[in-house]
C-alpha cells in the first residue's frame, strides 16, 4: 500500500531520534514502528546491561528467517546494584528569570519545552531587585537537547539570557500499564510499587463520563492495583 521504503522506515527513524542506533547487514526490517514506539515511550537511559540482580526474564520469537542470527528479543528485569547506581545520567539544567511575562505565556512556555524534549520544566516564584515579583523558568534536559531548548526559552519569553549547568540524575525505572474505565483507556505509570494515572487520559475520561477528575483517578489507580 505504501510502496518501497528504506530500512529503517521513516516512522522508526523519527521515533528513535536521540537514541543510539546502528545497522546490520540484513536485507529486511529488524525494528518495527511498534517496537520503536515501545522503546521511545519507556526507556529512561540507553546503554548496555548494567550490573544488577536479575529477577525475571522473557523471550519473544519472530517468524522471519534471519540466517545466522536468531530472530529473538530478550527482556531482563532486575534491580540495579548499588555500585552501578553511583553513575548517574548526565543532564543539563537551564534557567532564566523573567518578570514581564504573563501567567498564560509561562504556561505555554512550559508546554513548549516539554514538547521539545525536556525531561521536566517548572516555574519558581521569586523576588528580584527593587522588590519586583518574577519567576524562574527551569528546564531539565539531555545535553544534546540543550541548544534547542535554550532557543525555545529565548523565543517564547524574550529573556536576555539563559544560564545552565550540568549535573547527574538517578531516575527510577518506570513501567507503563493500561487500565479500562467504562470503555476508556487510561495509562498508569508505576515505580517502586507506587502508581499514578496519567492526567491527560484521566481528564479525557472524566469529561466523557461526566464524573469528577479525582474519582476517575481513584478508579484507575485502584484498577491497576487489582489487575
Residues 141-163 pLDDT 10s: 999 999 999 999 999 999 999 99
Provide the β-strand partners of residue 138.
95, 122
Q: Average pLDDT in the 33-51 region?
A: 83
Provide the β-strand partners of residue 163.
95
Q: Which residues contact 124 (CB under 8 A, 6 or more apart)?
A: 135, 136, 138
Residues 11-41 pLDDT 10s: 999 988 878 787 877 778 888 899 899 888 8
The pLDDT, as a whole number, for residue 113 is 96
The pLDDT, as a whole number, for residue 20 is 79
In a domain, 135, yes or no: yes
The pLDDT, as a whole number, for residue 27 is 79
Q: Which residues contact 140 (CB under 8 A, 6 or more apart)?
A: 91, 92, 93, 118, 119, 120, 121, 169
Domain count across the chain: 3
Q: Which residues contact 10 (CB under 8 A, 6 or more apart)?
A: none
Domain match, 16 and 60 both: yes
Domain match, 28 and 72 both: yes
Q: Are 42 and 176 in contact (CB under 8 A)?
A: yes
The pLDDT, as a whole number, for residue 148 is 94
How much is the mean pLDDT over the chain?
88
Domain residues for 38?
10-85
In a domain, 1, yes or no: no
pLDDT surpassing 70 at residue 85: no
In a domain, 126, yes or no: yes
- Quick one: pLDDT band at residue 117, thresholds 50, 70, 90? very high
The residue assigned the cell 526559552 is 153
Distance CA 52, CA 17 (A): 28
SS3 of the chain: helix, strand, coil, percent, to 5: 35, 30, 35
pLDDT above 70 covers a percentage of the chain that reads 95
Domain match, 37 and 80 both: yes
pLDDT surpassing 90 at residue 44: no
Lowest mean pLDDT among 7-21, 102-116, 127-141, 200-214: 7-21
Domain match, 25 and 65 both: yes
Cis upstream peptide for 8 (omega within 30°): yes
Which one, of 4, 49, 9, 54, lies nearest residue 32 by Cα?
9
In a domain, 3, yes or no: no
Distance CA 192, CA 50 (A): 18
Residues 175-185 pLDDT 10s: 888 999 999 99
The pLDDT, as a whole number, for residue 136 is 97
| Final residue of a structural domain among 36, 52, 85 | 85
Amino acid at each position: 500500500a505504501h510502496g518501497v521504503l528504506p530500512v529503517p522506515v521513516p516512522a522508526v527513524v523519527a521515533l528513535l531520534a536521540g537514541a543510539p542506533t546502528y545497522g546490520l547487514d540484513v536485507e529486511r526490517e529488524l525494528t518495527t514502528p511498534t517496537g520503536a514506539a515501545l522503546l521511545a515511550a519507556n526507556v529512561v537511559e540507553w546503554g548496555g546491561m548494567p550490573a544488577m540482580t536479575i529477577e525475571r526474564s522473557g523471550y519473544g520469537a519472530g517468524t522471519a528467517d534471519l540466517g545466522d542470527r536468531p530472530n529473538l528479543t530478550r527482556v531482563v528485569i532486575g534491580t540495579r546494584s548499588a555500585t552501578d547506581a553511583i553513575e548517574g545520567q548526565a543532564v543539563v539544567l537551564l534557567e532564566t528569570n523573567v518578570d514581564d511575562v504573563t501567567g498564560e505565556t509561562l504556561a505555554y512556555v512550559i508546554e513548549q519545552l516539554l514538547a521539545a524534549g525536556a525531561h521536566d520544566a517548572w516555574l519558581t516564584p521569586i523576588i528580584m531587585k527593587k522588590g519586583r515579583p518574577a519567576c524562574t523558568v527551569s528546564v531539565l534536559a539531555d545535553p544534546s537537547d540543550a541548544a534547542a531548548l535554550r532557543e525555545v526559552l529565548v523565543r517564547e519569553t524574550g529573556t536576555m539570557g539563559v544560564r545552565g549547568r550540568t549535573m547527574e540524575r538517578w531516575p527510577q525505572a518506570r513501567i507503563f500499564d493500561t487500565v479500562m474505565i467504562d470503555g476508556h483507556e487510561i495509562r498508569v505509570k508505576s515505580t517502586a510499587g507506587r502508581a499514578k494515572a496519567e492526567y491527560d487520559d484521566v481528564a479525557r475520561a472524566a469529561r466523557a463520563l461526566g464524573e469528577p477528575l479525582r474519582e476517575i483517578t481513584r478508579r484507575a489507580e485502584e484498577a491497576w492495583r487489582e489487575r
